[in-house]
Amino acid sequence: MAFDTELAERIRTVVCHFGHWDEKKMFGGLCIMLNGHMLCGVLGDELMVRVGPEDYDAALGEDGTREMDFTGRPLKGMVMVDGAAVAEPEDLEYWLQRCNLFVGRLPPK
Domain boundaries, the chain: 5-103
- Of the pLDDT bands very low, low, confident and very high (cuts 50, 70, 90), residue 1 is low
Q: Which is more confidently placed, 102 or 19?
A: 102
106: DSSP letter: S
Whether the Cβ atoms of residue 80 and residue 67 lie closer than 8 Å to each other:
yes
For position 37, what pLDDT does the model report?
Answer: 95
Prediction pTM value: 0.93
Q: How far apart are CA 32 and CA 41, in angstroms?
A: 5
Q: Say what percent of the chain tops pLDDT 70.
A: 99
pLDDT (tens digit, 9 = 90+) per residue, 32-77? Answer: 999 999 999 999 999 999 999 999 999 999 999 999 987 788 889 9
Q: What is the CATH number of domain 5-103?
A: 3.90.1150.30
Closest by Cα among 62, 102, 54 to 81: 62
